[in-house]
Structures are given as C-alpha cells and as structure tokens.
Amino acid sequence: MLTERLRPNIRALTPYSPGAARGGIRLDASENPFPWPEGLAAEIAAGLEPNRYPDGAATALREALAARFGLRREEIIAGNGSDELITLVLQTFGGPGRALLIQPPAFGVYAIAAAVTDTPLLEAPLAAEGQALDLDKMLALCRENPIAVIIVCNPNNPTGALFPREEIERLLRESGALVVVDEAYGEFAGAEASMLPFIHEYQNLLIMKTFSKAFGMAALRLGYICGPAEAVAMLDRARQTFNVNSFTQKAGLAVLRRAAAYEEQVAVLRAETERLYLGLKALPGLKVWPTRANFVLFRPRDAAGWCEALGARGFTVRLLERLPGLGSCLRVSAGTPEETGSFLRAAASIAQGEGGS
Ligand SMILES: Cc1ncc(COP(=O)(O)O)c(C=O)c1O
C-alpha cells in the first residue's frame, strides 16, 4: 500500500550510505582530524539565543566570506553543508528534461540529488583510471542531450585527481550548461588550483565549497556556493528560509577569524597525505592513486578483506566497492601525524601477511 504511494524516483534510488562510524581511528570521511581549540565551542554558545530564529540570510557569515575572497555578499549563498546545496542547485536548475552530467566514479550525493529532484542523470566516466575528464565524451553528451548542469568535483572524490583549469574553462565555454565546480577538497590542492578567480568571467560558473574538510566543521554542516549574483539570487529563491542555524553561522565566523591556524593544519595534512601515498606505494600488491586532496585511494587484491583487517587493528577506512572502471578500492584520509604513522604500520603488517599466505 505505502509502496504504491512512494514516488517512483524515490523508489528507484539507492540511498547514500556514508559508512559506519566504527570508532577507533577514523580515516574514512576525509575530515580534519585535529580537535577544536579549547573553549571555542563555549565561546560560540555564549550569547546565543536558541529561542530566536537564525538570520536566514546568514548576512555576517556571507560578508566575512566575501571579504576573504574579494567578492560581494550577493555572490555567495550558504547551505546546511554542501550536501544541501547540491540538491538546491538541482531544485533550481534541474528537474524533468534538464539533465545533470557527472563523471563517475564521483561523490555519491550527486546521483541521489538528481533522483530526489527528478533530474535525469547522464554519466561520462573518467578516463585514464580516474585521473582525467573525458572532455570529448562530455561535450558530445552536451550536444546530444538537454544538459542543464555539470558537476565537476575538483580535486575529485574518490580518486583525488585534479583536473586542469583549461578543461573546466572549455566546459564553461562549449557545454552550454551551468558548471558547478565542487571544491570540497580545494584547500588541499592550493589556492592556485581554485576556479574562484574566474567567477566574474563566466556567467555559468558556480563554485561550491565546504567548512567540513579543511576547516574542521563537519558536524556543524556549513557549505557555500560562490557565483554570479544573478545565479545566486536564483538559488536563493528555492532555499529554505532558515537553512543554516545560528550556532553554525557563529562557528563559521569564529573559524574564519582563525583561518591562519587552519591553513597551518592544511599544510600538515598535505604532508601527511603525501606520506600516506608514498607509504602505501612502497607496499607490495597495492595500486595507489596520486592525489591532490587529503585522502588516498588504493586497491588491494581483496579490498573488503583489507577493510576488515584494518578494522580489527582499530582503523576505519572507506570501502568503495565496484567503483566504475577501478574495481573495489579503499579510501583513507590523512590523520594526525601519529595516526598516519600507526595506519602505515598496520597496512604494512597486512601486506606482509598477504605476501606470506
Ligand atoms: C566532493 C564532496 N562534495 C561535497 C561533500 C559534502 O560536504 P558537506 O559536509 O559540506 O555536506 C563531500 C563530503 O564528503 C564531498 O566529498
């Protein structure tokens, strides 16, 4: 009875599963592993008025972001994590007859947001084992289909690849679509890799960013999109009135005031990611992908077995089964230097055990 009432697009979708939080050392969600500064949460909570609605426009936060990037407040919209903004983009610009183009293997939420908003989904799988966009295929799909939105994740989750700016510019010029560049991991690739400086050159460019990764706020849910004021105003029409709560808005401001400290953490995490990459590459039997994000994708002979073996040693990593074109892989994010060191020791002991069996 209920099944008949369920909308067909919701029936058809495979729900996104972020993976179980199994405790121990968590290297599965590409978060910032460093705890918050002592007293910061209390400082933010002080003076909060939980009985009052938040500022729905997140004015102070957007002004602070605008100052950071040399933009205007009208060129920024905040969301309850970038997850919310992915859906908002499709609520605003997608829907029946207005397809979304993605490049698998890609972040799972894109396909869910397409399903939820009844947006047809088209795929142009990555080339070169997940390292390159297949631009010819993408542009051919754009010529043949009514593609309204392209999302390019840069650096890409889960492969870690950074796609050249010239290729994204070609999409901006030739696709006829709105191009959303998801820079969730952009801080780890460095400011020179960001498309932010191009916002005023292209009317069809949106850049999506998050406080969940470099800025250590995954629990508080804060993402934002930068783009032409006209497109931002369109997104704002479909936005839920009070989508970002007061604590999170204040937390975003507090974190931006401490941006220099977070930039130091990013430098440490970049070094730890490199250490993870080199350490895994030195082990026998693993295919390891180069990365510009704060995680490393690798493929052992038995990914599920490795996930179990790491779990037994106290490490949670992300098992990504049957990734299109890549097979079953594991994604491990950079932890603190101590965590990375103990992870690499555990990985070495598993690889050695495999070699002996
Ligand atoms: C590529 C990508 N985009 C967006 C998100 C969502 O981030 P948020 O925590 O801001 O919703 C993630 C989270 O893992 C991600 O990997």
For the chain, domains (ranges, CATH) are 2-33+260-356 (3.90.1150.10), 40-258 (3.40.640.10)
- Using only C-alpha atoms, what is the Rg of the chain? 21
CB 231 within 8 A of CB 202: no
Position 20 scores a pLDDT of 64
If you average pLDDT over residues 264-269, what whole number do you get?
98
In the prediction, which pLDDT does 22 show? Answer: 65
Give residue 3's pLDDT: 87
Q: Are strands 287-288 and 295-299 parallel, antiparallel or unpaired?
A: antiparallel
108 in contact with ligand 1, CB cutoff 6 A: no
More confident residue, 124 or 47: 124
Please give the backbone phi and psi of residue 339, each rounded to the nearest 5 degrees, phi first: -65, -45
At 110 the pLDDT is 97
- Token pair, residue 26, equals 């968590």
User: Which amino acid appears at position 231 of this protein?
Assistant: A
Residue 214's contacts (CB-CB under 8 Å, 6 or more residues apart) are 32, 187, 188, 262, 265, 266, 269, 294
Picking from 169, 181, 153, 168, the residue whose alpha carbon sits closest to that of residue 291 is 153
Counting ligand 1 atoms within 8 A of each CB, the residue from 112, 211, 212 with the most, and so the one to mutate, is 212
Q: What is the pLDDT of residue 298?
A: 98
- For residue 86, what are its two tokens? 């992915």
> Phi and psi dihedrals of 299, rounded to 5?
-125, 105
Asked if 309 and 332 touch (Cβ cutoff 8 Å), the reply is: no
pLDDT of residue 21: 61
Closest CA to 100 of 149, 136, 135, 154: 149
Handedness of CA 83, 84, 85, 87 (dihedral sign): positive
- Which atom belonging to ligand 1 lies closest to the Cα atom of 211? 10
153 lines ligand 1 (CB under 6 A): yes
Is there a contact between 297 and 327 (Cβ–Cβ < 8 Å)? no
The mean per-residue pLDDT over the stretch 190-194 comes to 94
pLDDT at position 357 is 43
**Ranges 1-15, 87-101, 104-118: which has the least confidence:** 1-15
Asked if 1 and 190 touch (Cβ cutoff 8 Å), the reply is no
**Overall average pLDDT of the 281-291 stretch:** 97
Q: Are strands 327-333 and 295-299 parallel, antiparallel or unpaired?
A: antiparallel
Q: Report whether pLDDT(12) > 90.
A: no
Q: Tell me the pLDDT tens digit for each residue of 136-149.
A: 999 999 999 999 99
CB contact set of 341 (below 8 Å; sequence gap of 6+): none
| CA 218 to ligand 1: nearest atom | 9
Whether 16 shows a pLDDT value over 90: the answer reads no
Q: Specify the pLDDT at position 18.
A: 75
| Average pLDDT score over the chain | 95
Mean pLDDT score, 143-171: 98
Q: Is the pLDDT of residue 59 over 50?
A: yes
Which tens digit of pLDDT belongs to each residue from 23-36?
Answer: 689 999 999 999 99
Regarding the beta carbon of 218 and ligand 1, being less than 6 Å apart is answered yes
154 lines ligand 1 (CB under 6 A): no
Contact 28, 19 (CB under 8 A): yes
CA of 81 to the centre of ligand 1 (A): 7
- Residue 176 is classified by DSSP as -
175 lines ligand 1 (CB under 6 A): no
Is the beta carbon of 81 within 6 A of some atom in ligand 1?
Answer: yes
Give the confidence band of 356 by pLDDT, cuts at 50, 70, 90.
Answer: very low
Could you tell me the distance, in angstroms and rounded to a whole number, from the CA of residue 5 to the centre of ligand 1?
31
pLDDT of 17 over the 80 cut: no
Strand order in the sheet with 318-323: 287-288, 295-299, 327-333, 318-323
> What is the maximal distance between C-alpha atoms in the chain?
63
How much distance in Å is there from the Cα of 218 to the middle of ligand 1? 9
Half-sphere exposure of 70 (CA within 13 A, CB side): 5
Q: Is the CB of 294 under 6 A from ligand 1?
A: no
